[in-house]
Amino acid sequence: MNGHTPEDGEPTSFVGKTKALAKKHKGKIITVVGVAAVAAVGVLASLRDEQDAADEWDVEDFSEPPAPVVEREKRATPILHQVSPYQRTLRDGRVIDVSGYERGVAQV
């Protein structure tokens, strides 16, 4: 390994390297841990606020039944008619011609 060897000739242990690194970068480590702690507190506060909002929702009075859902009228089938020829652009950019055709249902 490329580890530093002290005066006695033995390689430095992992614990010794870690302690030296922590001593050298103490200010940076404290800053990073502080920022992480502030972020964690912010996340926890946000989660608590969401939980409070959910609790308020649960407290509401639901004694009245909800209003009935109004159904839409069914769409009428189109009457028989001619569709004019037109051009259509495909996804790949090509333009194709579409010939005219009949559409709809003949009325009785």
pLDDT level of residue 12 (50, 70, 90 thresholds): confident
Residue 105 pLDDT greater than 70, yes or no: yes
For the entire predicted model, the pTM comes to: 0.36
Q: What is the pLDDT of residue 77?
A: 84
Q: Calculate mean pLDDT across residues 39-50.
A: 88
Average pLDDT, the chain: 82
Cβ 87 vs Cβ 97: under 8 Å: yes
pLDDT level of residue 41 (50, 70, 90 thresholds): very high
Q: What is the pLDDT of residue 7?
A: 63
pLDDT level of residue 53 (50, 70, 90 thresholds): low
